[in-house]
Amino acid sequence: MKFLDEAKVWTKAGDGGDGVVAFRREKYIEFGGPDGGNGGRGGSVIVEAVDGLNTLIDYRYTQHFKARKGGNGAGSDRTGAAADDVIMKVPVGTQIFAEDKETLLADLDAVGKRIVICKGGDGGFGNATYKTSTNRAPRRADKGWPGEERWIWLRLKLIADAGLVGLPNAGKSTFLAAVSAAKPKIADYPFTTLHPQLGVVRLNATEEFVIADIPGLIEGAHEGAGLGDRFLGHVERCAVLLHLIDGTQADPAGAYRTIRDELEGYGHGLADKPEIVALNKLDAMTPQARASRVKALERACGRPVLVISGATGEGVPAALRALADTIHARRQTEAEVVPG
């Protein structure tokens, strides 16, 4: 299935049904009177987060969603039928923006969360509503109220506990494949990952977390270079970032600074997230190169650096444990926060 994380759609709620003018006429009944019923409510357009979806591809080919009009009223005080709502099902983590792409209308970050994006119009009144002691035979009936309509943007931000960041060919896909059942494309050239990938890491019977791999960043990504930074939104919700550095390159400290500059340029709090730095491809480094590059990288990031090999698995358990501990601490902190 093709990955799509952004879509623009048009939504239109149903208009309300019309009220009617009608009078009661029955044989052997001396006095009649107005009995025109009201119109029914128009259908609303609702967006709901559901389980089992991880892309917005359904909204690539269907971009217009319109609910039906409510039924018109009828004689004998019969109210028109209310129209059914239209429910748009989206993946958990979908944000809904107004047409300006800046005004956030809803953040559907849990299964079952929903929002009425366009409310159906109310039905118009029939002439029975306007009967009074002085107006015994009103001939007024109202049209139904129009339903709301608007263009909206759907933007998906994957729900993951940990995110992988790094330059192209840093070994992120190899690491993801080694620690989870995910099957990302792996090759010896840059930008093999073109779309975000998710994997579930199971440390033991009780501990597991979701890790997200996004396409590699290059210098100037926040200005649109390479694949740009459009996929960084998928790690905005992560509790921790695992920053992988290719240990076979001559300047790992420079690679680290490049990614940090892009995270700061992107904003949205990514640069402030807890970060674990790992020098990858241990199996391809000599002991001398390893020692010098670890030292240079620790000076650049100001913290201890893990040394791992996604290909052989060496050092990977320690990296997973560090990720799990950080995620656990974040969850505990969130659980202790009581809404005011």
> Token pair for residue 172?
């992120």
Do the annotations mark residue 54 as ligand-binding? no
Do the annotations mark residue 64 as ligand-binding? no
Do the annotations mark residue 193 as ligand-binding? yes
Do the annotations mark residue 2 as ligand-binding? no
> Token pair for residue 5?
């994380």
Do the annotations mark residue 274 as ligand-binding? no
Do the annotations mark residue 83 as ligand-binding? no
Do the annotations mark residue 317 as ligand-binding? no
What is the gyration radius of the CA atoms in the chain, in angstroms?
29
Do the annotations mark residue 214 as ligand-binding? yes
Do the annotations mark residue 172 as ligand-binding? yes
The answer to whether the CB of 310 falls within 8 A of the CB of 299 is no
Q: Any idea of the CA torsion for 190, 191, 192, 194, to the nearest 10 degrees? A: 180
Do the annotations mark residue 296 as ligand-binding? no
Burial class (CB in 10 A: 0-12, 13-18, 19+), 54: middle
Separation between Cα atoms, residue 12 and residue 309, nearest integer Å: 53
Do the annotations mark residue 194 as ligand-binding? yes
Do the annotations mark residue 133 as ligand-binding? no
Do the annotations mark residue 216 as ligand-binding? yes
Do the annotations mark residue 15 as ligand-binding? no
Do the annotations mark residue 217 as ligand-binding? no
Do the annotations mark residue 23 as ligand-binding? no
Separation between Cα atoms, residue 38 and residue 25, nearest integer Å: 19
Do the annotations mark residue 180 as ligand-binding? no
Do the annotations mark residue 85 as ligand-binding? no
Do the annotations mark residue 37 as ligand-binding? no
Do the annotations mark residue 171 as ligand-binding? yes
Do the annotations mark residue 128 as ligand-binding? no
Do the annotations mark residue 135 as ligand-binding? no
Q: Any idea of the CA torsion for 210, 215, 218, 221, to the nearest 10 degrees? A: -90
Nearest Cα to 111, choosing from 46, 48, 159? 48
Separation between Cα atoms, residue 11 and residue 98, nearest integer Å: 11
Binding site: which residues? 166-173, 191-195, 213-216, 280-283, 309-311
Binding site for Mg(2+): which residues? 173, 193
Binding site for GTP: which residues? 166-173, 191-195, 213-216, 280-283, 309-311
